[in-house]
């Protein structure tokens, strides 16, 4: 089998109301699909790549660069292909090049599963066929006060979630503590509650927040400081009983090696769409397992359901619903749903991603 073409298909659609986290405001949702065609007309790989909204033309250029080396190669040789693409002097290490490399790698694993006739999670280890799940949300929005935040959390629990996450860091600490209090009282003592600062705090601010929030039994405190501040993360981890989670902005096994060496966090959050694809994610997972650390991936449930289900140290899956993505449930032929707090791994060959191209066409970049 040979690769015959590599393409990047980009789509973008607006939100009715912009959402804000600790540092950033989002007015649109974006979807970047890497398509790898082969000389078998029945086998096409579908992959997802991390956000490139700032420079979509750069993403296209990088995929064009990869295409020149990939056409004619065997798509099953994912390790060889990853190494050929990763040239850290010019391509790789961090940034958009690694995100695009990851999108290609994810599409290669989709091909591998389709050739084998197996879902990717089975190829990677098949540890379980269902994973614990939390609903991500709780963003700041215009007109969204404590009452509306409470209603959102109640709706997530009614959906079947046994864990929910909200944003912090965009308002004064005591105001965010009040938001945490309202959420805890709304969901009750048995539903896990996470908070995510998206790098908004200095380490001493994060320590203040964590200590004030401890009484509300937080499951984790996510990305309290800038991603490269390993020492600050370690100080926060040592200063509070709340577990610290981070890693969504980290790249490759080398970045996670450094996080682990610094004992910077309690829970690792690699994102296959960012760090370099599934091939690299599995190396991070193995490195974490060797240090008795759990993996709670950041981002797309459609890719990460396979990765959490494949490994023994997979902790929980992040899940985005229509309160975050207005096109949730409308762009894939097969949707993922929460059942009693769990998401079941797809049993279709590959990743099970079949885009509704006719629906997406309206939003093409």
Higher pLDDT: 174 or 55? It is 174
Please give the CATH superfamily to which domain 122-344 belongs.
Enolase-like C-terminal domain (3.20.20.120)
Confidence of residue 244 (pLDDT cuts 50, 70, 90): very high
Mean pLDDT of 15-31: 93
Question: What pTM was estimated for this model as a whole?
Answer: 0.96
In the chain, domain spans: 3-117, 122-344
Active site residue 318: yes
Identify the active-site residue in 222, 229, 235, 250: 222
From the number of C-beta atoms within 10 Å of its C-beta (0-12, 13-18, 19+), residue 190 rates as exposed
Average pLDDT over residues 305-323: 97
Q: Say whether pLDDT at 338 is over 80.
A: yes
The fold adopted by the segment(s) 3-117 is Enolase-like; domain 1 (3.30.390)
Looking at residue 336, its pLDDT comes to: 95
Is 339 annotated in the active site?
A: no
Angle between helices 203-213 and 230-239 (to 10 degrees): 30
Specify the pLDDT at position 347. Answer: 96
Given 196, 223, 235, 250, which residue is catalytic? 196
What integer pLDDT is reported at residue 56 of this predicted model? 82
Strands annotated E in 137-175: 163-167
pLDDT at position 331:
94
Produce one character per residue of 242-275: b if its CB has 16 or more CB atoms within 10 Å, e if not. bbbbbbbbbbbbbbbeebbeeebbbbbbbbbbbb
- What pLDDT does residue 246 have? 98
Strand segments, DSSP code E, in the chain are: 3-20, 25-38, 44-48, 130-136, 163-167, 192-196, 218-222, 244-246, 267-268, 294-295, 317-319, 338-339, 342-344
Instruction: For residue 46, give both structure tokens.
Output: 């579908």
Asked if residue 339 has pLDDT above 80, the reply is yes
- In this structure, the number of other CB atoms found within 10 A of the CB of residue 41 comes to 8
pLDDT for 25 equals: 94
Q: Over range 211-223, report the average pLDDT.
A: 98
167 is annotated as an active-site residue: yes
> What's the confidence (pLDDT) of residue 289?
98
Contact between 194 and 209 under an 8 Å Cβ cutoff? The reply is no
Residue 55 has pLDDT above 90, yes or no: no
Q: State the pLDDT at residue 71.
A: 98
- Tokens in use for 239? 């200063």
pLDDT reading at 233 higher than 70: yes
In sequence order, which residues have a C-beta less than 8 Å from that of residue 286 and are 6 or more positions away? Answer: none
pLDDT at 54: 67
142 given a catalytic annotation: no
Q: Give the Cα separation of 183 and 218 in Å (integer).
A: 11
Region 74-99: mean pLDDT is 92
Task: Place 53 in a pLDDT band, splitting at 50, 70 and 90.
Answer: confident
Residues 242, 221: Cα–Cα separation, whole Å: 7
The pLDDT score that the predictor gives to residue 91 is 81
- Average pLDDT taken over every residue of the chain: 96
CA distance 318 to 309: 13
pLDDT for 102 beyond 80: yes
Angstrom distance (rounded) from CA 10 to CA 166: 28
CA distance 253 to 259: 10
Residue 327: which of 277, 278, 361 has the closest Cα? Answer: 361
196 catalytic residue (yes or no): yes
The pLDDT value recorded for residue 105 is: 98
- CA separation for the pair 88, 69 (Å, rounded): 16
Average pLDDT on 161-168 reads 97
pLDDT at res. 90: 82
58-62, 214-218, 235-239, 359-363: lowest mean pLDDT where? 58-62
298 noted as active-site residue: yes
Q: Specify burial of residue 144 (Cβ count, 10 A radius: 0-12, 13-18, 19+).
A: middle
Average pLDDT of 77-100?
Answer: 91
Least confident piece of the model among 70-79, 179-188, 327-336: 327-336
Average pLDDT value for residue range 71-88: 96
Contacts of 204 (CB under 8 A, 6+ apart): none
Catalytic residue among 167, 203, 304, 306: 167
Instruction: Given the residues 112, 203, 298, 306, select the one marked as catalytic.
Output: 298
Find out whether 52 and 99 touch, Cβ atoms under 8 Å. Answer: yes
**CA 136 – CA 10 distance, rounded (Å):** 23
Which secondary structure element, helix H or strand E, spans residue 231, and what is its range?
helix 230-239
Q: Which of 141, 176, 229, 248 is catalytic?
A: 248
Catalytic residue of the set 37, 105, 223, 271: 271
């Amino acid at each position: 089998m040979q690769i015959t073409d590599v393409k990047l298909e980009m789509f973008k659609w607006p939100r009715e109301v912009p959402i804000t986290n600790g540092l950033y405001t989002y007015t649109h949702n974006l979807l970047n699909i890497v398509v790898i065609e082969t000389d078998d007309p029945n086998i096409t790989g579908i992959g997802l790549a991390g956000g490139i909204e700032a420079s979509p033309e750069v993403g296209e250029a990088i995929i064009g660069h990869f295409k020149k080396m990939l056409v004619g190669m065997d798509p099953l040789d994912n390790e060889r292909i990853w190494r050929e693409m990763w040239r850290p002097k010019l391509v790789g290490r961090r940034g958009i090049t690694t995100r695009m490399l990851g999108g290609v790698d994810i599409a290669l694993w989709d091909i591998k599963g389709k050739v084998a006739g197996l879902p990717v999670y089975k190829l990677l280890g098949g540890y379980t066929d269902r994973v614990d799940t939390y609903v991500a949300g709780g963003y700041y929005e215009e007109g969204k006060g404590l009452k509306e935040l409470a209603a959102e959390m109640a709706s997530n629990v009614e959906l079947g979630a046994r864990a929910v996450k909200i944003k912090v860091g965009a308002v004064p600490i005591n105001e965010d503590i009040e938001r945490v209090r309202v959420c805890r009282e709304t969901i009750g003592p048995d539903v896990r509650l996470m908070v995510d600062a998206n790098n908004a705090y200095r380490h001493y601010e994060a320590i203040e927040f964590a200590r004030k929030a401890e009484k509300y039994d937080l499951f984790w405190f996510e990305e309290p400081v800038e991603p490269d501040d390993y020492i600050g993360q370690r100080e926060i981890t040592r200063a509070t009983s709340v577990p610290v989670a981070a890693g969504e902005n980290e790249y490759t096994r080398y970045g996670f090696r450094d996080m682990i060496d610094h004992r910077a966090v309690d829970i690792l959050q690699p994102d296959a769409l960012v760090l370099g694809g599934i091939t690299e994610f599995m190396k991070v997972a193995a490195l974490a397992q060797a240090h008795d650390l759990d993996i709670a991936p950041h981002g797309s449930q459609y890719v990460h359901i396979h990765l959490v289900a494949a490994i023994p140290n997979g902790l929980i899956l992040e899940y985005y619903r229509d309160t975050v993505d207005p096109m949730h449930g409308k762009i894939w032929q097969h949707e993922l749903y929460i059942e009693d707090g769990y998401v079941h791994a797809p049993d279709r060959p590959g990743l099970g991603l079949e885009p509704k191209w006719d629906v997406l066409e309206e939003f093409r970049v």
